[in-house]
Amino acid sequence: MSASSPDSRPPSIGRRTLLGAAAVATPAVLGVATPAAAAPSPAAATSARKKPRALPGGGDLGPNVIVFDPSTPGIQARLDQVFRQQESAQFGTGRYALLFKPGTYNGLNAQLGFYTSIAGLGLSPDDTTINGDVTVDAGWFNGNATQNFWRSAENLALVPVNGTNRWAVAQAAPFRRMHVRGGLNLSPTGYGWASGGYIADSRIDGQVGPYSQQQWYTRDSAIGSWLNGVWNMVFSGVEGAPAQSFPNPPYTTLSTTPISREKPFLYLQGNDYRVFLPEKRTNARGVTWGNGTPRGTSLPLSQFYVARPGVSAATLNQALAEGLHLLLTPGIYHLDRPIQVNRAGTVVLGLGYATLIPDGGVTAVQVADVDGVRLAGFLVDAGPVNSATLLEIGPRGASRDHSANPTTVQDVFVRIGGAGAGKATTSMVINSRHTIVDHTWVWRADHGEGVGWETNRADYGVVVNGDDVLATGLFVEHFNKYDVQWNGQRGRTIFFQNEKAYDAPNQAAIQNGSTKGYAAYKVGDGVTTHEGWGLGSYCYYNVNPSIVQHHGFAAPVRSGVRFHNLLVVSLGGQGQYECVINDTGSPTSGTSTVPSTVVSYP
């Protein structure tokens, strides 16, 4: 079936591969940003190499950042135009950021399609109020929301028209720093399948209704109430969260988040753009805004190199070497060498799902073992030549203490295949100590173009070698071997969502020595201290439903290696788990899509 014209029958539990092949990639109607200038002549290029000219900071945000103020005419028509282009463009090239200056906007319904971000430009969400809705639904896919990826809402206050805003998203669709003066419905019209999602630093005055959502993570927020849970609902630092009750209802509730630092965001001070850098919090609970100026620092846009698609990796690295930060405006960037982030405190902030494609097998981004780097808001899309790694945080052997000022990786997403052929041995490697990975979706594509067991080969999703790393909101799916391999000491994960690779051809293809299959989440044999809360792994071996996966989770049996609230699920009996973690936990139950759970391990 084509995702752009799905079968009219009710969707099967089988989720994405069964539910549709590649969406038709629609051409960019509204225009993709082009290079700021033509390529220089050879003579000019030689001169530039001899005497590099300092690159300017600041500047125009480009044609795909659309800025509104309350007096802008035709706002709804412009929103609708972007949505028509992006609604079903799952693997298209359009990228958009819709930014609203502080003020009040009436009667709007901003429907969000693929690669579309909407955000307010105030210091607080309440500075920018929409009397209306920011809507994600699944009409494009016959009421099935499991492919509503790659879109975001940030820093707005909403007063929904009917009292409840609909946000029926799947992976890579953060809802950050939002104030909903009403309720929030996380399911599509008709309560079809849904597989999300992530909320942080947000206040929902009314009830949050997940309905059909299989899993969800909410961090450092405040809610009026929470309606229900399907498989795995996790809360940390959330005022109003339901009490701990896993597995029935499937709520994992931590009163605080051990360490958090909110994502950087663009805002206006008068007529000038700045980027706000929220401060680190320990034992965090509730939102960071609402009581005066938020805590943190800010940088003027003049300290950022405002990059446009078509700029070279050499120029991006020159800007970094000259002391500038990077603001990646919406579009697609091809890289012939890694972006090298070597300076402490560097910010690399993407708008509108700016997408980095490493060509020729290079790594897209490499971060030195330095304090306080902030990577946020961009997508890394593997190229057709295999990359050993796509994103590296710290070099191999990194050992410096960054506890006072950690590096954060937030809303940084990785994709291998789907938009075309792509390969990478390991997607994301975390070597630096104390790194915080706050919401990522690392995805070996199970549908789209360039998809097959060897076609978009990617053995490992996330490999953590650094000590004291914290992951909050970890989504990693479909890798040929381990989805997550955690070798560092004292690691912690709050919420994990995984599906094993659908497309394994036979049992031998996934065999891991004497073990049937590679665990979704593997803690290294030498690790003595590790902890995880609210972790789930699902299998859907639709190519060969006879495949058996021994367990979803593997870890050394030590008192310091602890897990809370684990589950494995066989989707419709397409493949089975024998255990949950190591040799513990009941097997999944035939064709019944019922989780097998372990509340505490060991």
Known catalytic residues? 499
Specify the 3-state DSSP secondary structure of 319.
helix
Please work out, in degrees rounded to the nearest 5, the angle formed at the alpha carbon of residue 551 by the alpha carbons of 425 and 510: 40
The Cα 317–Cα 319 span in angstroms is 5
Q: Look up tokens 């609230």; give the residue.
A: 565
Query: Are 15 and 195 in contact, with CB atoms under 8 Å apart?
Result: yes
Which stretches within 239-376 are classed as H helix? 313-321
CA 586 to chain centre: 31
Extended strands (E) in 271-407: 272-278, 280-284, 296-300, 304-307, 325-328, 332-335, 339-341, 347-358, 365-367, 374-381, 387-393
Per-residue tokens: 571: 């989707």
Specify the 3-state DSSP secondary structure of 314.
helix
The Cα 542–Cα 320 span in angstroms is 46
User: Which stretch of DSSP H or E encloses residue 19?
Assistant: helix 16-19
Beta strand pairing call for 222-226 and 347-358: unpaired
User: Any idea what DSSP says for residue 278?
Assistant: E
User: Which stretch of DSSP H or E encloses residue 18?
Assistant: helix 16-19
- Tally Cβ neighbours within 10 Å of residue 342: 14
Query: Are 410 and 372 in contact, with CB atoms under 8 Å apart?
Result: no
Cα 417 to Cα 91, 140, 388, 478, 540, distances in angstroms:
10, 22, 15, 11, 19
Rounded to 5 degrees, φ, ψ at 313 are -60, -35
- Three-state secondary structure of 235-264: EECCECCCCCCCCCCCEEEECCEEEEECCC
Query: Are 257 and 234 in contact, with CB atoms under 8 Å apart?
Result: no
Query: Are 461 and 479 in contact, with CB atoms under 8 Å apart?
Result: yes
Residue 249 preceded by cis peptide, ω within 30:
yes
Longest dimension (CA), the chain: 70
The Cα 168–Cα 190 span in angstroms is 11
Q: Which residues of 46-83 are buried (b: 16+ CB within 10 A; e: fewer)?
A: eeeeeeeeebebbbebbbbbbebeeeeeebeebbeebb
